[in-house]
Structure 1
Amino acid sequence: MLWRPRGDNWGALRLTTTGRRSGRPRSVIIGYFEDGPNLVSLAMNGWGEAEPAWWLNLQAHPDAEVDLRDGRRPVRGRAATGDERSRLWTRWSELDKNLDAYALRRPSETAVVVLTPRAGAPDAARDD
């Protein structure tokens, strides 16, 4: 089930990436929030050590598609860095009060993933 973020709750979207080895479509449901036209998620694998396959796929093939409650749109994935990463991490911390404690379980920094609209994508900020 997919839902939009509301207030202090994140939403859920279906991300379809291209498999880095198979070249075939791979889909996963991930949490997100909106940052202007961008969708923001965390590259986590149950807070385990390994990077999630969807993030590895996005790094190899950044163009992907997301299914949201209001339809499908093409996106391009990238890792947030510097001040942008700090700002977006802070926003996730507001949505999940245990975020920093969970992140400490991982041996490396958790990537903050930004999914930016590609040309021809509808406006991500519209209401239901």
Structure 2
Amino acid sequence: MLYGKEHVRRYRETGGAEGHDWNGTTTLLLTTKGRKSGEPYTTPLIYQPHGDDFVVVASKGGDPSHPDWYKNLAADPEVEVQVRSDRFKARARTATDEERPELWRLMTATWPDYDEYTKKTDRKIPVVVLEPQR
């Protein structure tokens, strides 16, 4: 099973032929700029399309703190996304309270464990909308 840096490497090398379809769902690659280092960091994330946008969840498996990639995009919302072989710039934003219920349902339909993760943490797990800037 692909995970972490190996997942990113194989996804990039194969244009997503390896790594896009993962554990019965789909993943994209999200590249953020490190909020302290300024270095690029790429993370494979489960996603779903929503209109022209892409939706991801900052769950970190229900950890009490937000994942680093989320902290990075909160500091700089200009990100790069790769979906299969398509790479593009995007602006990341946290879903509004109005959008969140619909987007949460979309994401739990593809990865039901998100509901379990909410039981492990007191934080409100962010739903993130990636808006392509083409």
User: Normalising to structure 1: TM-score of the pair?
Assistant: 0.83
1:30 to 45, 56, 71: 45
Contact 1:4 1:68 in 2 (8 A): no
1:3 counterpart = 2:52? no
Amino acid at match of 2:86: G
Summarize the alignment of residues 43-62 of structure 1 with structure 2, pairs less than 5 Å apart. Answer: 43-62=58-77
Contact 2:59 2:117 in 1 (8 A): no
Identity level (%) = 34
Length, aligned pairs only:
116
Q: CA deviation at 1:11?
A: 1.4
Summarize the alignment of residues 1-128 of structure 1 with structure 2, pairs less than 5 Å apart. Answer: 1=11, 2-3=19-20, 10-118=25-133, 121=134
- Higher helix proportion (structure 1 or 2): 2
Contact 1:28 1:54 in 2 (8 A): yes
Mapped to 2, the partners of 1:98 and 1:3 lie a distance apart of 19
Q: CA deviation at 1:4?
A: 6.1
Cα deviations by residue, 1:33-86 (Å, 9 ceiling, x for unpaired): 000110100012122111100000000000000112132010010000122111
Mapped to 2, the partners of 1:50 and 1:29 lie a distance apart of 18
Q: CA deviation at 1:95?
A: 1.9
CA RMSD of aligned residues (A): 1.7
State which drifts further: 78-87 or 51-60.
78-87
Mapped to 2, the partners of 1:32 and 1:105 lie a distance apart of 21
Mapped to 2, the partners of 1:97 and 1:45 lie a distance apart of 14
User: Normalising to structure 2: TM-score of the pair?
Assistant: 0.79
